[in-house]
Structure 1
C-alpha cells in the first residue's frame, strides 16, 4: 500500500467513524430532548391541568351559485324519483288502455261517417 492510498484510506476511515459517532450522538440527544419535553408536559399537567378545550363549532360555508344549482337539481331529481316510486303502475296501464281504445273508437266512428256506404 502506497503513501497516498494509505493516507486517503486512513482519512476516509477516520471521517466515517467521526461522522457516524456524531450522528448517533445527535440522534440520542434529540430523543432525550423529546422524552424530557414529554415528561415536563406530564408534570405540568399534573400540577396545573389544561382547561378543557371548547367544543368544536359548526362550520357553515356559503355555497356558490354552482353548488346551489346542483342542490336544486338534486332536490328536484329526488322528488321526481319519489313520485315514480309511489305510482300505481297497474292504474296507469288501465288509463292508457282506455285512452288508446277511445281514440281508436273515435277514429273509426268518424271514418264511418265520412266514408259512403258501399253500393249494393
Structure 2
C-alpha cells in the first residue's frame, strides 16, 4: 500500500470514527435533556396546587404530562439526520450541471499533467 493510499484511508477512518462519536455524544445529550425536562414536568405536575388533594379535579388537558415523551428516540433522530443528508446530496446532484463538472475535472487533470511534466 502506497503512502497516499495509507494516508487517505487512515484519514477516512479517523474522521468517520470522530463523526460517529460526536453524533452519539450529541444524541445522548439530547436524550438526557429531554429526560430532565420530562422529569421536571412530572415533579411540577405532582407539586402543583391545583388538584393536589383530588387529581380528578384537574382539567383533562393537564393530566399526566410525564407519560407522553416530548422527543423521539436516538434511532429516529439518526434516521432523520441521515435522510436530510441524503436529500441534500440528491438535490445537489440534481441541480448541478454535469458538463461543468466534466470541464472542471478536465482542467484539474491538465493542471496536474503540467505540474508533473515541469518537475
Identify whether the pair has TM-score above 0.5, normalized to the shorter chain: no
TM-score of the two chains, using structure 2 as the length reference: 0.41
Over alpha carbons, which structure has the higher Rg? 1
TM-score of the two chains, using structure 1 as the length reference: 0.41
Instruction: Answer 1 or 2: which has greater helix percent.
Output: 2
Larger relative contact order (CA 8 Å, sep ≥ 6): 2
